[in-house]
Amino acid sequence: MPRPPRNLLAAAPLGRAVAALLAVAATALLTGGASAAPGRPDPHPHGAGAGQGALPPWPAPADASAAVASAGLEMLSSEGMVQHTHTHLDVLVDGKPVTVPASIGIDEPRGRISPVHTHDTSGVIHVESPRRADFTLGQFMAEWQVPLAADRIGGLHSGGGRHLTTYLNGRKVAGNPSAIVLRAHDEIALVFTRDADTRPVPKSYDWPQGL
């Protein structure tokens, strides 16, 4: 069937509505779908630069070695001991704790380990490196494959009455939290919540003996 002339679609109200719907559909196909509305989960969290799904929980990546490579870190055959420190990370979304998975940065099938990793779900980030360096929260989050910036964590974006606030030992930290250096016995809290939320955030961690 021949396509109707363009002026027929433009002349009739129904035709204009159909044309508008077609334009929206075409835009969605070209862009891969809608972008995230402020304060809401990213509907397409696996686009460029993204990692885990929009909403927590965020599991440890299936391919730890690839995730470590994306963080710009090397895999080791064993834990290094030249630099050996521990930092604690809390992630809270609307007041609920998000589990930091075990084995981030550990590739058990290949017997390899990153200098920055987790052993359990306590939130303790282990830095065990054969050389001294400033390892950052951004590198750890890249290993976890959870995007982090001043206004987002995972697929959750600030706006619409919700925001991401970073705390270091109970004090707010401005700027991009990815730049925070992982230092011995620091407590980092990433808190995504409503603007009016006044619930207390962790200021410290009860470190077990030996850590």
- Following CA atoms 187, 85, 141, 91 in sequence, which dihedral angle do they give, to the nearest 10 degrees? -20
Locate 130 and state its tokens.
Answer: 């054969």
Pairing of strands 83-93, 187-194: parallel
Pairing of strands 124-129, 106-107: unpaired
- pLDDT at site 22: 37
Consecutive H or E run containing 128 = strand 124-129
With 0-12 / 13-18 / 19 or more C-beta atoms within 10 angstroms meaning exposed / middle / buried, residue 200 is exposed
Full-model pTM: 0.77
Distance CA 164, CA 193 (A): 7
- pLDDT at site 50: 44
Core vs surface per residue 102-138: b (16+ CB within 10 A) or e? ebbbbbeeeebbbbbbbeeebbbbbbbbeeeeebbbb
Locate 70 and state its tokens.
Answer: 């994306």
DSSP state at residue 12: S
Distance CA 9, CA 12 (A): 6
For residue 142, give the nearest of 129, 130, 153, 127 by alpha carbon.
Answer: 153
Place of tokens 């990153």: 114
pLDDT tens by residue, the chain, 211 residues: 444 333 322 333 334 343 333 333 333 333 333 333 333 333 333 332 346 778 999 999 999 999 999 999 999 999 999 999 999 999 999 999 999 999 999 999 999 999 999 999 999 999 999 999 999 999 999 999 999 999 999 999 999 999 999 999 999 999 999 999 999 999 999 999 998 999 999 999 999 998 9
- pLDDT at site 51: 62
Q: Which residues pair with 89 in a beta bridge?
A: 188
- pLDDT at site 54: 84
